Amino acid sequence: MTGVRPVRVGGGQPCSRAAGRCGASAAQTAGDAGSGPHVLVDAVDVDAPELSDDDLHHLTRVLRLRAGDSLTVGDGAGAWRLCRFAGVGARSLLEPAGEVVSAPAPSPELAVGFAVLKGGRSETVVQKLTELGIDRIVPFVAERSVVRWEAARAQRLLQRWQRVAAEAVMQSRRLWLPQVSAPERFFELDLSDAVLADPDPAAGALSACQNFVMVGPEGGWSPEEAAAVGRRVCLSSQILRAETAAVAAAALLAARRSGHLPASEPPAG
């Protein structure tokens, strides 16, 4: 420990139904593009944060980082700091160049569930949800899912998705790693706060403080699944692919929390 005093910034605002959106959380990125690349480390409040072998290879071989170049490091739990790369031959690869900055977790927590997809499409969904700032990613197997449920594969899938999420955290410079759940069957999930995505425009728009959107498979929800959750939301006037719907849900949730959605205007006349 270096004894550096963490600097706290940002913070979530309470949900305001009168305003029609939830308040924004400020300063949820580490530095900016001018700060150099962003990498995850086990601890930032030490004299010499340590890089993994994979990250060192990426920084030096792919990004061509040189001695003296800037970068930011984060712990995935809200803390980050500016560092300088000392060079491969140095005793300590990273030299702290700024104070530790600590930000609270964004509020309210945002969650998106999606039916597991074939091939690498699930990885793409995890990547995009992470980039957009979703806090909890909930893969599941629905009754009409094309992907067959294999409990033995769940741990391998989880490890792959967590790796994808970590890479997306570094690319997007976000401060908090999302919680990526192991895939479960739909009826094993806690659905008490969930709202189901529905292509029917009559389902209506996402309402204030609905923070957990479930996106089903391209075959749609079964009657039993639809009956289990009475709340619906329509994400688009077009018919979306399953992965597109998950990204659309994430974009709407994130834009509302950050305050980037315009205020609702009363109807004319």
Q: 124-153: per-residue pLDDT in tens?
A: 999 999 999 999 999 999 999 988 777 778
Query: Distance between CA 81 and CA 65 in Å, rounded?
Result: 17
* Strand ranges, E, within 134-260: 136-141, 179-180, 184-185, 195-197, 212-215, 232-233
Answer whether 0.75 is exceeded by the pTM. Answer: yes
Helix (H, G, I), strand (E, B) or coil at 52: coil
pLDDT at 25: 45
Q: Supply the DSSP string of 98-157, one letter for each residue.
A: S--EE-PPPSS--EEEEE--STTHHHHHHHHHHHHT-SEEEEEE-TT-SSPP-GGGHHHH
Helices (H), strands (E): how many in the chain?
5, 15
All domains of the chain in start order, with CATH: 29-102 (2.40.240.20), 111-258 (3.40.1280.10)
| Buried b or exposed e, range 26-55, using 16+ CB within 10 angstroms | eebbbbeeebbbbbbbeebbbebbebeeeb
Q: 105-132: per-residue pLDDT in tens?
A: 999 999 999 999 988 899 999 999 999 9
- Answer whether residue 21 shows pLDDT above 80: no
Query: Distance between CA 234 and CA 210 in Å, rounded?
Result: 13
